[in-house]
Amino acid sequence: MIKYVIVGGVAGGATTAARLRRLDEQCEIVVFEKGDYISYANCGLPYYIGGTIAEKNSLLLQTPVSFGNRYDVDVRVKSEVIAIDSTNKTIKVRNKFNGKEYSENYDKLVLSPGAVPIVPNLPGIQSDRIFTIRNVADTENVKQRAVLSFSKLKEVVVVGAGFIGMEMVENLHQLGYHITIVEKSPQVMTTVDAPIAAVVQHQLKEKNIKLMLNTEVQNFEDSDDAVCVNLSNGEQLKADFVILSIGVKPNTELAQAAGLKIGPAGGIWVNEFLQTSNPDIYAVGDAIEFANPISGIPYCCYLAGPANRQARICADNLVLGNKTAYKGSVATAVAKVFSWTVGSTGLSENYLRKHNIPFLTSVTHPFSHATYYPDSKQMTLKINFSPLNGRLLGAQVVGEEGVDKRLDLLASVVSNGGTVFDLTDIEHAYAPPFSSAKDPVAYAGYVAENILAHRFFPMQWHELQAILATPNWQNEYFLLDVRSAMEVKNGAIEGAVNYPVDELREMLDEIPSDKTIIIYCAVGLRGYIASRILLQSGFEKVYNLSGGYKTYQLMSEK
Amino acid sequence: MIKYVIVGGVAGGATTAARLRRLDEQCEIVVFEKGDYISYANCGLPYYIGGTIAEKNSLLLQTPVSFGNRYDVDVRVKSEVIAIDSTNKTIKVRNKFNGKEYSENYDKLVLSPGAVPIVPNLPGIQSDRIFTIRNVADTENVKQRAVLSFSKLKEVVVVGAGFIGMEMVENLHQLGYHITIVEKSPQVMTTVDAPIAAVVQHQLKEKNIKLMLNTEVQNFEDSDDAVCVNLSNGEQLKADFVILSIGVKPNTELAQAAGLKIGPAGGIWVNEFLQTSNPDIYAVGDAIEFANPISGIPYCCYLAGPANRQARICADNLVLGNKTAYKGSVATAVAKVFSWTVGSTGLSENYLRKHNIPFLTSVTHPFSHATYYPDSKQMTLKINFSPLNGRLLGAQVVGEEGVDKRLDLLASVVSNGGTVFDLTDIEHAYAPPFSSAKDPVAYAGYVAENILAHRFFPMQWHELQAILATPNWQNEYFLLDVRSAMEVKNGAIEGAVNYPVDELREMLDEIPSDKTIIIYCAVGLRGYIASRILLQSGFEKVYNLSGGYKTYQLMSEK
């Protein structure tokens, strides 16, 4: 009878155990979890703090006993695995109830130790008013502080504006806290590109959340009833408590000590069958690294979906032999930020630039469903694609409705190695409450197809900003606003001339043919039509502002 | 200068014209539309009747003038094309303003005549209280009758329970009508399979809508203030008016008279470039037929999404040469029925049976998002797949939330020729408000994978019904309910023995090893775990009820 030992009883570990049992009723399975709980809803923790999830029990999907009964698994909580002896195939376990240590042998070992929050070595970081959010115990601590303790200031500082940071902002806001976000990058949520992040930032401001970008923490100082956060810009913030959400790193201590290979990204190295450098030890979840399927560059991916997939594949390979290869993840992530949804799949501009991968980009603002049916919402959709073959490298969406479904489709094209042409071929379930005959995803594909075929030439918001910042730009450029006069009245880019698209054919003589023409409309569609008219009427250098006035205006907001 | 003439100015025709202009600023484009409007929102018509769309103008996306201005197109409404002379490349047009007829020449002709409602030749069908819903004029007539006329009975009969029929039911219900649906099939919405239709039927009953299945209309009789509908079962219904929504057929009269090839499905034949049997004439939209990408069998597809795609491809091929092939549509459709969403993609059981295509099927009841996050809703998801290679042949979903996004993903796998294994590889955008770590689509894929690998053996609801209808079935079968005692108290299948799954390992001796074991739980998951336990403990014939008690109970409802 084969004996499987699993280190870690949350997402990856519990799923591996359950699948192992379903595949093999006779084997022995032991799960060690150093915390009090197994198989809990990690991703739900922020919502428990905010009260959207009212009962802690809702987060505990299984108890050690219920899980053990159902799957005939020996579940040992408060049991920390502190060493692996891979030669003798034993592990050393510390029982945290009584402090005793003992050995346990295994035939096959599965590591699912997860990730640990990054805590920078700053003066004052030990304050008991500074929290990370990673497990049930962390969450209990924050909930205690945020809900039950007497709060004088009702002020919180959230350091780090990633996905979890944003979820914490929403939940603490819901509890009535005034929040300041401190983020060292020039934008929130750095896995999405600036025009997408700008939409989120705009929403945060609408909620009176203070956003300090390009700002770092120097140190923390505790006082009697608050913690002071001293910033790189010299300012000091005072808060009841601080949420530290600057990121996580793979928990590789145990693996490293056991001599298992650690990869270049700092995660446990595994082959495509999720086997570590020791053939009797497999690993899954946040602690492993694998090659990004698009770039080929190894990275660590801290997401529940991939962990679940890996766990199942790991169990299959353990019982049935190494037959199922893990294809990797393109890091598809989504977050709810108040009434908005924001997410990304694949590679961002920042990543593409950093790794010198050539790309084109396009921003569109399609509606969630037919505009003639009530309550359609405009979203912002950005795709990054290869100028060589149109391969979809990455995509990001932000909006109030229908965002997650477009992300899923975009993710499936990105992870299949598909192109922008594939986006136009997708068949959508259409009725007016759900989409348009031309879905936002198809629409983005058509725009990209037109860019690749040189049917129009996009200009990005920052390119236009740079041009307009040069003196006498009018000598070289003609900025053409093709919106209606009524739209122009409500705001336009300084220096633009307004010829509405529907009258453009009559105004061609007024447009200087020796200058570069930069066209813009509200979102880019009429600008495209105007581009086509000019390009086919003898004008040679014609650009259309990507995402139109909507994106330009948002990116120019202070 | 090339001259394009387009017959039909709604979805297909208008989109073709717009794309033609964007590709070629110099060509001449003339659009003939026999009705008063062009480019209107066909799919929104039922919602205008119900009042969800308050203004008729919202439906009119473009006026002939605005469209003409933007795209430099000669739009002629109330102009019916009554003949094509393909030898001389002219068409004959009847101006419905003044009744005059005239000829117009073309270089290339595009036919987009749409579909016409099927109106059976029944006695009394000419009554002015019987309506079809196909264009703005029809809609105005129904709206006049339903909203503005004095109504004595507040009763409507809807004949035909397809997608449009269902949308009409919802909208008329919203206007306060009591509705009776008359449908000749044994279920509503025949493109979805029985367990999906049953959910819709249950909802209709909850709304006090009378459903007469397996019922046909014999004839209609007008009285002073009502119309009587005499049925095949001898019953008579009295209604203020009748909506006839038994289907549509391709409008091929003009094409047929011009000698263009009509295909076996009754639509205008086109090649993959959307060119008819005459190389100077192309056709798009509801009037054409093409091969179903899964079965290869030609059919007509009456959907807006494919029409839009065809129109763009048609314009590309006209201007740039026949380079873009239309890949066909797998008939992905969706409808809102009150607070429920129902839809399908690919092939149904009925279709597969009719064409002798071997298939397996699986019903699951996953939740729209993590159950620990508020307001998750259980959906029903049915997939049909090939027993040979796991190819996904069709999929259907019904539920209150997140249905359309699962349909989109399923449609993309179906139309890419993908398999149930591909469903498990899809990377989903996951956070608790949007999905689960194992998304409903992945879940359906895993279940199918387990069926194909013979990890369990599904039994369908009708197979169990047939077994339980035979006398002394207990001699051969052992019906095992593995739910908790509490669940059993609220209802169970007669004759079942209850051993909860978590105690099953202790009860193995009580289960007769010489009988066929039929296991069921609430939805199928615990039944699967129980199947694994029994199959690996020496039991040889073990089945798990697909969709569990939930589907069985619904299918047994009268």
- Residue-wise pLDDT for A27-63, tens only, equals 999 999 999 999 888 899 999 999 999 999 999 888 9
Question: Among residues B462, B434, B445, B440, which one has the least CA distance to residue B379?
Answer: B440
Out of B341, B372, B402, name the one closest to residue A58 (CB).
B372
DSSP A316-334: HHHHH-S-PPP------EE
pLDDT of residue A11: 87
CA B551 to chain centre: 21
Judge: B430–A327 Cβ closer than 8 Å, yes or no.
no
DSSP state of A147: I
pLDDT band for position B166 (50/70/90)? very high
Looking up tokens 């390119």 gives A463
Looking up tokens 């997408």 gives A196
Judge: A426–B408 Cβ closer than 8 Å, yes or no.
yes
Q: Computed over its alpha carbons, how large is the radius of gyration of chain A?
A: 27
The answer to whether residue A300 is catalytic is no
Residue A558 has pLDDT above 90, yes or no: no
Judge: B428–A434 Cβ closer than 8 Å, yes or no.
no
Looking up tokens 């053990």 gives A68
Judge: B372–A53 Cβ closer than 8 Å, yes or no.
yes
DSSP state of A148: I
Task: Give chain B's mean pLDDT.
Answer: 96
DSSP state of A507: S
Q: What is the 3-state secondary structure (H, E, C) of A19-38?
A: HHHHHCCCCEEEEECCCCCC
A-chain residues near B435 (CB < 8 A) = 404
Interacting residues of B383 by C-beta distance below 8 A, sequence separation 6+? B361, B362, B392, B394, B395, B396, B410, B420, B423, B444, B448
pLDDT of residue B152: 75
- Compute CA distances A530 → A479, A508, A516, whole Å: 13, 11, 14
Task: Output phi, psi for A193, to 5 deg.
Answer: -85, 165
Q: Which residues of B196-212 are buried (b: 16+ CB within 10 A; e: fewer)?
A: bbbbbbebbeeeebebb
Region B286-290 average pLDDT = 98
Judge: A501–B70 Cβ closer than 8 Å, yes or no.
yes
Tokens of A361: 């980009």
DSSP helix/strand/coil, A299: strand
Is B299 an 8 Å CB contact of chain A?
Answer: no
B-chain residues near A536 (CB < 8 A) = 24-26
Tokens of A501: 């698209």
Judge: A343–B537 Cβ closer than 8 Å, yes or no.
no
ipTM above 0.90, yes or no: yes
- Number of helices and strands in chain A (H, E): 17, 31
Question: What is the number of alpha carbons within 13 Å of residue A202 lying toward its C-beta?
Answer: 17
β-pair type (A392-399, A380-385): antiparallel
CA A157 to chain centre: 21
pLDDT band for position A416 (50/70/90)? very high
- Compute CA distances A228 → A125, A220, A236, A242, A482, whole Å: 11, 6, 7, 9, 51
Judge: B435–A532 Cβ closer than 8 Å, yes or no.
no
Chain B residue closest in CA terms to A343: B429
β-pair type (A217-222, A227-231): antiparallel
- Distance between A355 CA and the closest CA of chain B, angstroms: 24
Residue A207 is which amino acid? K
DSSP helix/strand/coil, B266: coil
Task: Output phi, psi for B33, to 5 deg.
Answer: -130, 125
pLDDT of residue A265: 98
* Beta carbons of A72 and A121 less than 8 angstroms apart: no
Name the B residues in 65-124 with CB < 8 Å from any A CB.
66, 69-72
Share of chain A above pLDDT 70, in %: 99
Q: How many CB pairs under 8 A join A and B?
A: 217
Chain A residue closest in CA terms to B344: A429
Chain A residue closest in CA terms to B434: A404
Task: Output phi, psi for B75, to 5 deg.
Answer: -95, 120
Is A53 an 8 Å CB contact of chain B?
Answer: yes
Residue B153 has pLDDT above 90, yes or no: no
Looking up tokens 């039509």 gives A529
Query: pLDDT tens digits for B331-382?
Result: 999 999 999 999 999 999 999 999 999 999 999 999 999 999 999 999 999 9
Q: Is B160 left (phi over 0), alpha (psi -120 to 50) or beta?
A: left
Query: pLDDT tens digits for B139-152?
Result: 999 998 888 776 67
- Compute CA distances B275 → B17, B84, B252, B299, B317, whole Å: 16, 16, 15, 17, 9
A-chain residues near B536 (CB < 8 A) = 24-26
Interacting residues of A6 by C-beta distance below 8 A, sequence separation 6+? A13, A16, A17, A29, A30, A31, A32, A109, A110, A112
What is the enclosing helix (H) or strand (E) of A379?
none
- Compute CA distances B501 → A140, A427, B10, B245, whole Å: 33, 41, 58, 47
Is B537 an 8 Å CB contact of chain A?
Answer: yes
Residues B25, B86: Cα–Cα separation, whole Å: 26
What is the CA angle A429-A430-A433, rounded to 5? 120
pLDDT band for position A153 (50/70/90)? confident
Q: Which residues of B267-285 are buried (b: 16+ CB within 10 A; e: fewer)?
A: bbbbeebbbbbbeebbbbb
Order the strands of the A217-222 sheet from edge to edge: A217-222, A227-231, A236-239
Judge: B370–A43 Cβ closer than 8 Å, yes or no.
yes
What is the enclosing helix (H) or strand (E) of A405?
helix A403-415
DSSP state of B539: -
Judge: B408–A411 Cβ closer than 8 Å, yes or no.
no
- Compute CA distances A85 → A81, A105, B345, whole Å: 11, 9, 53
Query: pLDDT tens digits for B390-449?
Result: 999 999 999 999 999 999 999 999 999 999 999 999 999 999 999 999 999 999 999 999
Name the B residues in 362-381 with CB < 8 Å from any A CB.
370, 372-374
Interacting residues of A99 by C-beta distance below 8 A, sequence separation 6+? none
pLDDT of residue B278: 98
* Beta carbons of B333 and A429 less than 8 angstroms apart: yes
Chain B residue closest in CA terms to A320: B453
pLDDT of residue B68: 95
Residue B162 has pLDDT above 90, yes or no: yes
Q: How many CB atoms lie within 10 A of CB A93?
A: 22
Residues B88, B254: Cα–Cα separation, whole Å: 16
* Beta carbons of A277 and A86 less than 8 angstroms apart: no
- Distance between B368 CA and the closest CA of chain A, angstroms: 12
Chain A residue closest in CA terms to B58: A372
Active site residues of B: 43
Q: What is the 3-state secondary structure (H, E, C) of A110-143?
A: EECCCEEECCCCCCCCCCCCEECCCCHHHHHHHH
B-chain residues near A438 (CB < 8 A) = 305, 308
- Distance between B232 CA and the closest CA of chain A, angstroms: 33
DSSP helix/strand/coil, A513: coil
Tokens of A301: 């991916």
Task: Give chain A's mean pLDDT.
Answer: 96
pLDDT band for position A224 (50/70/90)? confident
β-pair type (A101-105, A217-222): unpaired
Judge: A373–B333 Cβ closer than 8 Å, yes or no.
no
Region A256-283 average pLDDT = 98
Angle between helices B64-71 and B11-23 (to 10 degrees): 20
Residue A151 has pLDDT above 80, yes or no: no
Out of B53, B336, B411, name the one closest to residue A427 (CB).
B411
Is B339 an 8 Å CB contact of chain A?
Answer: no
pLDDT band for position A150 (50/70/90)? low
Judge: B336–A431 Cβ closer than 8 Å, yes or no.
yes
Region B110-138 average pLDDT = 95
Out of A44, A332, A537, name the one closest to residue B370 (CB).
A44
Q: How many CB atoms lie within 10 A of CB A534?
A: 23
Residues B286, A257: Cα–Cα separation, whole Å: 67
Looking up tokens 């802690």 gives A56
Q: What is the 3-state secondary structure (H, E, C) of B307-337?
A: HHHHHHHHHHHHHHCCCCCCCCCCCCEEEEE
Order the strands of the B477-481 sheet from edge to edge: B458-459, B542-545, B516-520, B477-481, B497-498
Residues A194, A201: Cα–Cα separation, whole Å: 10
- Distance between B258 CA and the closest CA of chain A, angstroms: 30
- Distance between A264 CA and the closest CA of chain B, angstroms: 24
Share of chain B above pLDDT 70, in %: 99
pLDDT of residue A234: 96
- Distance between B406 CA and the closest CA of chain A, angstroms: 8
Tokens of A88: 């003798």
Q: Which residues of B304-329 are buried (b: 16+ CB within 10 A; e: fewer)?
A: bbbbbbbbbbbbbbbbeebebebbbb
Query: pLDDT tens digits for A383-399?
Result: 999 999 999 999 999 99
pLDDT of residue B122: 97
pLDDT of residue B150: 65
Name the A residues in 153-192 with CB < 8 Å from any B CB.
163, 167
